[in-house]
Structure 1
Amino acid sequence: MEEEIKAEFNKMNFALDDEEEILKKCLAFCINYNLKPSDIVSSWEVYYLNRQLNESVVQNAEMDGFLLHLQNEQKDAIIKEEPGLHIYSSKDVDMILNADDGDAKEEVPGTPTRYSQDPYSEPFDSTPQTNGRMFSSGKPSKLITPFGQRTQKFVVKFSINNMPSVVNGEKELDPENHEDDVIRKVQPGRKCSLTVHGSKPETGCRFMYDRIEDRFNALESRIQKHAVSFASSKLYEEPVDPTVSSQKSIFTVGMICCDGEGRLNEKSTLLQSSVEHSGGQRVRLELQNLNQFSIFPGQVVGIEGHNPGGHCLIASKLVDFIPLPETADVDLHPTKKQALDKEIQSNGLSGPQAELSVIIASGPFTPTDNLFFEPLVELLAYAKRKQPQLLILLGPFVDSEHPEIEKGNTDRSFDEIFHIEILTRLQDYAEYMGSHARVILVPSIRDANHDFVFPQPAFDIQLPDLKHQITSLTNPGILEANKMFLNILAEKKSHEIQQVEHQVIAWVDYFYPLYPPAEAVPLDFSLASEALEISLIPDILVVPSDMKYFVKVLPLGGRGEGEEQVKCICINPGRLSKGEGGGTFVELNYYGTPDTSNASIIGI
């Protein structure tokens, strides 16, 4: 049979590096998996193409990886035949036999010197040194990806610590007690109330049908809404037409525009007022008299100034916020209130909860050199150890910009990758954690297996047994957990002009106020009016992007001048995977207010 295997390899123009050893292993593979020599060579061709190996030589060093490829083929074949079947890994078996929670299995030896130099590094390595689809049995493997070769794992890169246990910005950690690193461990079985506010657009909605009329109406309604808000606040005069010549100071409301297709700058800024006040005409806006400002195309602002010649509005003051109610003042629909109270009672919660523990991560969830999803495996192992009340994962999950996806170097459909690599792992996580664990999935326009439209409907996830634990949110979406509001936006673009002296975010009432939208964002105005309006100030704002990660407590200029600023934690978790290596995610403990909360950016 070895001769037959060798003949099949030669027939497909493959040479054997260590012929005797390779043929012995291939013979064992054929016996163990009931394969023919032609089947072994066909599987090797798939493995050879997926790994993008340069030489047509079968290397003995690749046999371990090839074995895992064969195991995954067998597993996928079984799953296709019996889709409801759960396959336990070697880690599950070891945990059951040893009555262990799995933490000890994840530990690997480390030198005291390296740990003493980096007290925040985790003492365990949960990365399977294989293709990531199956947990490692602990045996050494010659197939180690660049992600698996990294030395520093779970390192705190940045943190804000506002609890009494923090001294001089550093956590008081016992280097021998790893249960208290980063943020204290949440007690098992602790539930959080969860309510999704708004479900627009709906799954299966029609898109790419927006008209010019839809765009006009959406922009006009935003300008009019701001004008009414400014007037009703009694802090400013009634808005007037900014295009009319006037020697005295006036107050007007309009949208920031650019006079060309290039980038916005101080010399190209225009102000477009509403149809009611100016017939929708634009006027040049002069900003040189302002000490500080932060504007971008599509932003609706209030302007105090004068227009001496009717051609240029010289601004003396720019107001980039409108008064908004606090979250406590939000008047929910009676049905929503009743549903929320019922859920709180069913979860055993009495009254508003002051605490929320959450882990937030944004895709991609696999490095660019493979589709093994090793970062996701490590994140879930970390979450099992920390046991957060809420795990929020933002797309892309099946990244359309991944090299393997772009080139089509995969024998599985995008939906198969999503269900096998993402949902199956999340099911295992939810079952391991118990009924108190909650997982939120938010899609991205980069998800190859989902609708390419913004705003974006939620994933259509059919998990009857875990529908209360694994939930999909629209992009963008509003979530209420333990009486705290989280606004989540999976697409974020930087402002065009930023000349700010103080770290103050200009609060707007729109999830995506940039207009015209970025070229890569398929903004559909026929869906925007229902899905992009914001009716409340969040406690936590999540805005992942390719820019550098950050966690900041920011005042929101939305309560009127002279009043105490409303504060919000703004989070960019970064990307869980960057290139061939690991990225970052956020671990947050929220204690009622942003000023009494802990958050850490953790490098994976």
Structure 2
Amino acid sequence: MPELSEIVSQFTSLGIDLDDEAAATCLDLCLRYSLDEESFVNSWIAFSFSSLGGADPSKENLEAFEKKELANIKTPKRSSTASHLQVYSTGSAKQISVHSADSFTPPRPGTSGISHTSSKKLNFSPLVFTPEVYTPSEKFNGRKNSGQTVSTLGKSFYEWKSTAYDVNISMYNPTDTSGWKFFYDTVMVTSNHLEERFEFLADEIVAANNLEKPTPFKHCGLDVMTFRGRICPYDKAKKSKQLNSIEIQGMFESDYAVMELDVSEVDNFAIFPGQVIVFEGVLVGKNIRAKKLYSSAVQKVAPPPTIQKPVQILVAAGPFALSDTLSYEPLNELIDLVKKDQPNILVLVGPLVDATHPKIAQGQIAETFSDYYSRMVQRIGDALDGLKIKVVVIASSKDANNLPVFPTPPAVDHSYKNVKFFPDPSLLFIEGLVLGVTSVDALFHLGKHELSNCQTNRLARLAAHMVGQRSFYPLYPPEPEVCMDVVAWARQAQLSVTPHIMILPSDLHGFIKEVDSGCISLNPGKLTKGLVGGTYALIEVRPVHSDEEWKVSSHVSSKIVRI
């Protein structure tokens, strides 16, 4: 029941002082229209600013509020009959009363809430309003290419049986993700972070290629000089035919002036918006005729890992459910494979609960996204409990229970038994092995905007951009689907070291390529592709024997396999 003191307190917290007459009127309105104190105050504030210019709640203003807003409210009568809305549990498709609080509590593993069929399939589906949401996919179950190898790298694998030992997994650069704040900075702070990042990278490119100190854009002449800048956004369809007018923004010494860059005479170039380059050319007026471009500031690869036994890693990237159902058959089969082959590490790259899945986007699940996500992860952990398999879950901005921002904090701020959660992107440290991983499709985004006349392998070149620009996401401005916080990006999405392996899930064709300075880039594909199954990747890292030198080319094997 509404109380006068609480109404006064709600207004006071907003800096509004009520006189006794206005307070009594507010209480009367709350009682007559069955409103709690907070709802009443929120409704008043909205009305006041939209109709009264933010006026205080006097008796006259409250009467106007009642006539225009509250009089339209029809107080619902309590129904003596039970609601017809039903909630379904996936395992047996039984109806659950919505009046039971226990109906929405995920059943504990091992209880009767989980259906144990003869095939002992795990139940990853949510509580739903209609059982059709988790109807098994006939197309997926009838496929013929399961287990087919798509791509390989390195020597043939040893027998894939776990060496049954625990491996330590941590962040290469530990970051406290519990207090992340997003879009909390002024435009000036954001701009400064961008400038600092771009100028630092330009200096590193100069040092890596032993170039002369860059010249400001102000110096015209016929001599070939060294300049530096950042590629500005462009229309790829137009600029592919107009290579003499690519806009480039200078750095501090050039007062951030924008010039036109002519790359038509450059033998080999590959550029994209946001790319930091150092180039040699001739400046004439507002146009620079480039002769040679430098865009790579590749660092040395991380030191060799200290592993004493082979480390086996299985990598799968979401989405994990087919687009027409939430039965999660591909994830079920993946867990069966993991239990059979027992790799040391299972890396699951989000999204686990895909916000873009039609069934989820249409609001057809009957529990919170957080409860659904937690229950799914717990069942994965329980299924692998006792097998000495570490599960790594990489966050995704597409997870329905997570923040739609990049970089993305872990969806869960604690660990389950054998499951650890990491942000997106992450540099993982596994017994000295450095593994870079992100859930954002940076390869596809770069490919949409890249202009190149190179004859090299396109997929390897796109991955090399990330290593050369020392960033998990070097494209700027980002694609619209990537809600990027620049300050967090400058802190969390940069490569402080060249990893041994880069895991870059993409909608592009799966591949395994060795790129600059001994780094392997791997696109495991997605576990599902619409209505059909996709692919996952297996990685085996072998230790050094005797006096041999450890190299990714000779000590890392990998293959991409269809689920």
| Alignment TM class, shorter chain as reference | 0.7 to 0.9
- State the alpha-carbon separation in 2 of the partners of residues 574 and 161 from structure 1: 15
Aligned to 1:407: 362
CA apart distance, 1:320: 1.4
After superposition, residues 148-163 of structure 1 pair within 5 angstroms as: 148-152=140-144, 154-163=146-155
* CA RMSD, Structure 1 to Structure 2 (Å): 3.3
Q: Give the equivalent residue in structure 2 for 1:314.
A: 289
Which residue in 2 is equivalent to 1:179? none
Judged with a 3 Å threshold, the aligned counterparts in structure 2 of structure 1 residues 583 and 513 are, in CA distance, closer, same or farther, namely same
Alpha-carbon deviations, 1:288-337, whole Å to 9, x = none?
11122111100111101111x221111111111125233129xxxxxxxx
Q: Which stretch of the first structure deviates more once superposed, 281-290 or 584-593?
A: 584-593
Q: CA deviation at 1:127?
A: 6.3
Measure the CA separation in 2 of the matches of 1:355 and 1:510: 29
In the alignment, is the contact (CA less than 8 A) between 2:314 and 2:346 conserved in 1? Answer: yes
Match in the other structure for 1:303: 279
What code does the residue aligned with 1:569 have?
I
Q: Please state if 1:451 is matched with 2:403.
A: yes
Once the two structures are TM-superposed, the CA of residue 77 in structure 1 deviates from its matched residue by 7.5
Q: Following superposition of structure 1 onto structure 2, how do residues 341-420 of structure 1 map, counting pairs within 5 Å? A: 351-353=306-308, 355-420=310-375
Alignment match, 2:553: 595
How far does the alpha carbon of each residue in 1:380-420 deviate from its partner, in whole angstroms, 9 at most, with x for none? 11111111111111111111111111111111111122122
Matches within 5 A, 1:122-521: 144-152=136-144, 154-163=146-155, 166=156, 184-200=159-175, 202-233=177-208, 235-258=210-233, 265=240, 266-275=243-252, 277-307=253-283, 309-328=284-303, 351-353=306-308, 355-420=310-375, 422-433=376-387, 436-463=388-415, 466=417, 469-491=418-440, 492=442, 493-495=445-447, 496=449, 497-503=451-457, 504=461, 505-506=464-465, 507-521=468-482
| Cα distance in 1 for residues equivalent to 2:167 and 2:90 | 44
CA contact (8 A) 1:227 1:239 kept: no
CA apart distance, 1:355: 3.0
Moved more, 408-417 or 383-392: 408-417
Look up the SS of the partner of 1:215 in the other structure: helix
Q: Secondary structure in 1 aligned to 2:331?
A: helix
1:542 pairs with 2:503: yes
- Does the C-alpha gap of structure 1 residues 428 and 159 become closer, same or farther in structure 2, counting only changes over 3 Å? same
Task: Judge conservation of contact 1:243–1:311 (CA < 8 Å) in 2.
Answer: no
Q: Confirm or deny: 8 A CA contact 1:240 1:250 kept in the other structure.
A: yes
Q: Give the whole-Å Cα distance in 2 for the aligned partners of 1:193 and 1:522.
A: 32
1:87 aligns with 2:87: no
Amino acid at match of 1:189: A
Q: Secondary structure at the match of 1:69?
A: coil
Q: Which moves more between the two structures, 500-509 or 225-234?
A: 225-234
Matches of 1:544 and 1:79, distance apart in 2:
37
The residue that corresponds to 1:70 in the other structure is 94
- 8 Å Cα contact 2:321-2:331 kept in structure 1: yes
1:113-172 Cα deviation digits (max 9, x unpaired): xxxxxxxxxxxxx868xx7659xxxxxxx9642355323253223232422xx5xxxxxx
8 Å contact from structure 1 (residues 441, 472) kept in 2: yes
How does the TM-score come out when normalised to structure 1? Answer: 0.68
In the superposition, relative to structure 1, how do residues 301 and 72 fare at CA in structure 2: closer, same or farther (>3 Å)?
A: farther
The one-letter amino acid paired with 1:368 is S
Which residue in 2 is equivalent to 1:563? Answer: none
Work out the CA distance in 1 between the residues paired with 2:91 and 2:166.
41
2:94 aligned counterpart, secondary structure? helix
CA distance in 1, matches of 2:184, 2:268: 40
1:490 maps to a residue whose letter is S
Cα pair 1:575 1:584 within 8 Å, conserved: yes
Preserved CA contact (<8 Å) 2:135 2:325? no
Distance 1:326 1:575, change over 3 A: closer
1:93-114 per-position Cα deviation (integer Å, ceiling 9, x unaligned): x9xxxxxxxxxx86xxxxxxxx
Q: 1:152 to 1:82 in 2, by over 3 A?
A: closer
Farther-moved stretch of structure 1 (65-74 vs 149-158): 65-74
What's the CA shift for 1:71?
Answer: 8.3
Alpha-carbon shift at residue 282 of structure 1 (Å): 1.3
- TM-fit CA distance, 1:234: 7.0
Task: Report the more deviating stretch, 314-323 or 379-388.
Answer: 314-323
Q: Give the share of equivalent positions with the same residue, in percent.
A: 24
Residues 458 and 431 of structure 1: CA distance in aligned 2, closer, same or farther (over 3 Å): same
The amino acid that maps onto 1:291 is D
Distance (Å, rounded) in 1 between the aligned partners of 2:339 and 2:96? 24
Against the structure 1 CA distance between its residues 223 and 243, is the aligned structure 2 distance closer, same or farther, given a 3 Å change threshold?
farther
User: Are the equivalent residues in 2 in contact too, given 1:183–1:587 (CA < 8 A)?
Assistant: no
Relative to structure 2, which stretch is displaced further, 358-367 or 260-269?
260-269
SS of the equivalent of 2:224 reads strand
In the alignment, the residues of structure 2 paired with residue 259 and residue 144 of structure 1 have an alpha-carbon distance, to the nearest angstrom, of 45
8 Å Cα contact 2:152-2:512 kept in structure 1 = yes
- Which moved further from structure 2: 442-451 or 574-583? 574-583
- Given candidates 519, 524, 528, the residue that maps to 1:577 is 528
The 8 Å contact of residues 201 and 474 in structure 1, kept in 2 or not, is answered as no
Contact 2:512 / 2:523 at 8 angstroms: preserved in 1? yes
| Aligned 8 A contact 1:254 1:301 in 2 | yes
TM-score (normalizing by structure 2): 0.73
Answer whether contact 2:281 2:292 (CA < 8 A) is retained.
Answer: yes
The 1:73/1:382 distance shift into structure 2, 3 A limit, reads farther
Cα distance in 2 for residues equivalent to 1:90 and 1:414 = 19
- 1:476–1:490: 8 Å Cα contact kept in structure 2? yes
The secondary structure found in structure 2 opposite 1:471 is: strand
Q: Is residue 531 from structure 1 mapped to residue 506 from structure 2 by the alignment?
A: no
CA offsets per residue over residues 481-520 of structure 1, 9 Å max, x none?
1311111121112231233212352321122211111111
For structure 2, list consecutive stretches of 5 or more residues without a partner in the other structure.
1-80, 127-133, 543-549
Q: Does structure 1 conserve the Cα–Cα contact (< 8 Å) formed by 2:90 and 2:125?
A: no
| CA distance in structure 1 between the partners assigned to 2:471 and 2:90 by the alignment | 51
- The one-letter code sitting in structure 2 at the alignment partner of 1:313 is I
Counterpart residue identity of residue 315, structure 1: A
